[in-house]
Amino acid sequence: MSTTLDEKPKLRLSEIINMSVGFLGIQFGWDLQRANMGPIYEYLHADADKIPILFLAAPLTGLLVQPIIGYMSDRTWHPKWGRRRPYFMIGAIVSTIALLFMPHSPVLWVAAGLLWVLDVFGNVCMEPFRAFVTDKLSDRQRTEGFVMQSLMIGLGGSIASALPWLMIHVFKLQSTAASGVIPDNVKWSFYIGAVFFLGAVMYTVFTSKEYPPKNLPSKSDEKGSIGKGVKEILESIVQMPKRMKMLALVQFFTWPGLFLMWFYYSTAVARNIFHASSETDPVYSQGTSFAGLTLSFYNVITFLFAFILPFIAHKLGRKLTHSVCLLCGAIGLISVAFIQNKYLLFLSMTGVGIAWSSILSMPYAMLGGVLPENKVGVYMGIFNFFIVMPEIIASLGFGWVMKNLLHNDRLLAVQIGGVLMIIAAVLCYVLVNEKSDQAKAVS
């Protein structure tokens, strides 16, 4: 007799690892773009106040793609490929192609267009992974499942962020190039990232099985599915469990801190700590590569902290754990502006790594127990709204703030991100009630 979603056995550690390895590859792709797209845009002559609008691809695609893919994957079942895994495969293949072409962008609009492709299909691949954990794990193992994703994210991100530095100092590739050309160390980083992305996702596809959903729509129900899907997404937004609403507010203030770091941290290190005069200055590439190394370090901290995070969460509770971790991240971001010795950036990134480990797991672990099991994909996509909406606001409006209020001070922008993370920590501790909404978890 086959196992279904309402009969979830306890999985072995090896099974939880297998179902999480794909996130290593996905994060490899995300961290490559986060650490390198700002410098790539400047290599292609983008001004600092134009950088936020060029990052608009990620939030817009997340806003549109994730709930749709969630809705579709909730209604997908293939006897061989399952429910979520077809989306893993399609997203990984197209994202890999975008990674291979990205470092050959001849002009700014090509790089921006490829980022749109990468973000669309990165979201196609990533969104079902969150639902995948809730599908396969009972509530008692859900924290471990999402923390294992954090561990894989930390591992993938640490390697991806360090690659440009490793290409220079280990493989002796060129870190400078003619004006408007992306250096070899960045190019080879993207090639390696493409291999990791595709390989890791395919490993999960071929080593993990899925349980068939209890009910799938009949052929007659599938007619007009687009209209029904939009209606269900809107109805689900209105009917969000109370705890989800509170967590959404926490997310709304958490993620801008991360966005501002990804927008400006690498170039801030190059210009303010390495004192590069322009993007053609040889010191500029050294600065952005060193910044990538420190971003790699925060992912190492994320990886290591993930081993003890479940223990801390069981002792302190998920919401207190998450609040404390967010405060660590805020301190890390704010401290960057006071650093003169470049090696102290590793200390700042330690705080960010602790926060990142929690951001990738605790909100989803707190959320999973209050979602109807036949709508997990839809609700995980909706939850992403409150990540991408602040990024859309930042992408559309922060360029004006940078130019007119901050005078293109990249370090100050990073500090503002830290202040927003403090607000998120306070909101999490004050508003989130882990004991509420249990009845709504049953569909």
Contact between 15 and 145 (Cβ < 8 Å): no
Q: What is the DSSP letter of 374?
A: G
47 within some domain:
yes
d(CA 426, CA 337): 23
247 within some domain:
yes
pLDDT of residue 284: 86
Alpha carbon of 91 to those of 3, 85, 117: distances in Å? 27, 10, 10
pLDDT of residue 4: 55
- Return the beta strands (E) in 156-207 as ranges: none
Q: What does the buried/exposed string (b/e) look like for 311-342 if buried means 16 or more CB atoms within 10 Å of the residue's CB?
A: ebbeeebbbbbbbbbbbbbbbbbbbbbebeeb
- For residue 220, what are the contacts with CB-CB under 8 A and spacing of at least 6? none
Place of tokens 């990804």: 262
273 within some domain:
yes
pLDDT digits (tens), the chain, 443 positions: 455 555 678 899 899 999 999 989 998 888 888 778 877 888 888 877 777 777 777 677 777 787 888 888 888 888 888 889 999 999 999 999 999 999 889 888 899 889 889 988 998 998 888 888 888 888 788 878 888 888 888 788 888 878 888 888 888 887 776 777 788 888 899 999 999 999 999 999 999 988 887 766 555 544 445 667 778 888 888 888 899 999 999 999 999 888 889 888 988 998 889 988 777 787 888 888 899 889 889 888 988 998 899 899 989 999 999 999 999 999 999 999 999 899 999 999 999 999 999 998 899 888 877 888 778 888 888 888 888 888 788 778 888 888 888 888 888 999 999 999 999 999 999 998 876 554 444 43
The first and second tokens of residue 289, run together, are 């590569």
220 within some domain:
no
Q: Give me the CATH number covering residue 208.
A: 1.20.1250.20
pLDDT of residue 277: 79
Domain extent at residue 19: 13-213+229-441
219 within some domain:
no
Pick from 11, 70, 65: nearest CA to 374? 70
221 within some domain:
no
Alpha carbon of 130 to those of 38, 80, 319: distances in Å? 28, 21, 19
Contact between 71 and 381 (Cβ < 8 Å): yes
6 within some domain:
no
222 within some domain:
no
The one-letter code for the residue type at 429 is: Y
Strand partners, 78: 82
Answer positive or negative: Cα dihedral of 395, 399, 405, 407: positive
Pick from 412, 389, 149: nearest CA to 255? 389
- Return the beta strands (E) in 46-95 as ranges: none
d(CA 125, CA 28): 13
The total domain count for the chain is 1
Name the 3-class secondary structure at 78.
strand
